[in-house]
Structure 1
């Protein structure tokens, strides 16, 4: 399928753009943006908007939802065909630059949030700007992904609805692999109701919520299925008030990761079917699916396209991999939009002191992204059949906010 794009010229342009890529990443990294600090996120949005306006020739729409600032660029008068998706919030608290300053040494760029995922935002801007005509592209940059996208999920799903593709600028997996599958995430809280009593005088009059909690930890853990790559992990838990009182209440948090919608539904039914073991104890289960899985069928056609384009650009053969972490790409795949993730920076150490980006890969991956955009705007990809849980929103196009 022809795109009319000169891949040799594109590679040369993105190599020449490296100083601009690095300058943009530095500006974003040195503006700290922890998700929980809405003022910091708003300041970061100002920097993202300024960079994008300079590169793309247009200011973004600012969408503030419950105090969180999101940014959107739409190109052309027609409907969106390709959604570029990223986020500008990070897990790093204010002051992290003091202990983890921005730096560039021996071809390795470092700084809080550089890999996850501020480099990807600058790459997206440069890739869109490289297109002769970006009509049909929407660039959406949200401000709350790291805390589960509570205000942006509906916005993301609305933007992705009806698109031919969603391209997610999250960082690559190990070795630069694209993320062709992401596990779906469910989160639950198991609340235990017991009965308090004096632990020394008459413990038999109590119903020990801590003991009941221990039973539930084992029951929850038994729901995992290694053959299906399903993990069910008891995480935070608490019970009791004082050291000489039979605990009257307890609580257990449960993290579930699955590779398919079917498995997510199985686990949802199983967790809600938990029953107390001790006579007199009670259980209340809250929570449920948080993000649907990004299954291989959502990414297959896009990965094949990207692999062909990588070869034309003279890049190393692309690889794809399944990862346990989730992203906003789970939402776009969940409503049936073909989705390819991990198109951002190559490096490693997300959320850690070793967070870094490999500088030599920045122009290569930017060229690949621009070529993929051009290819998608020129033709029609194969759409996967819609897949979704009962709690997911409709895949029909909604009125945009």
Structure 2
């Protein structure tokens, strides 16, 4: 038996951190929100992220400086970047676009756009959690990026100057000072960048559940349903699900790595969305090891202390949505962590995890409003910055949905950079 509803003016497809924060901001701004997903809120990639507010990450991955490293990285099956050879033919067009976005002018534009999103992200989270009574879920407001080689330190000094030019609070410290702040760091660490406007959370899933709980108290509703088609007209939006059609005044597509077919169905645009398969290793026995999140410049992973233990997260694998997990990529993180910490980690009851990070070849998300009457909104492609940017993205979406001026220009994030929509 099918059913349909017209009892909402705003429908959100996707109950990850972007969809849930948008539901919270829209509902508390006076909209009637219905959130749908085929799984429970937070069941996807949002529960397994690094838990770090990475406001310092303003540089795109698509940077020509990494070109000479790519062959070596790809030849290492357990390195920070890998491609499943069985997926190579599928990812090749995406990689060509990725290379095209390494042009210096494009890198500058992308850096400015990422800095604009990151610049408002921590304040947006503090505001959202302050209003909802969840500020205690933020555990620290600083982090370190450590390095083991002086050549890396020289490169990071150059990066630091660019970060400071974009308003990122950061300073360089030596290895001894880094160990004073974090005694567990080994002697391999020769220096670090110290960030004072980043931070981490107690548990990403707890944060999402807290935000959704507050949205639900304000009147937002959830239905477990899978969106299959989206139709936008002057009269409204119709979303077809396996349970029947849902009618709404406006709709937001925010289902992460699964957004592409719905966006194409609704707009005609083939967004070049692919997925970074991200891994983490959770160490429940290591709850007291670190006071803050520690990233490694050379090893390209991060260690985040959480309520449930120490989370080691990182590495990028291009293998699509269907290939089975390569758990060796999670366990190798233990080796990287042991090289940076003393004594060796206690990996009793360690648990590996893998999730899908939605990523676009220019390293920017889509945040946009299109269609008749601006009925269709989109927010996807935040790659590894979904947690960081979600609260600020929700603020942008709320302004767009209510015909208000957003806090930043959405021009760099528009869908039309990938093609003309059905309404252009």
Is the structural similarity TM-score above 0.5? no
TM-score range, shorter chain: under 0.3
TM-score (norm 2): 0.22
TM-score (norm 1): 0.23
Structure showing greater Rg: 1
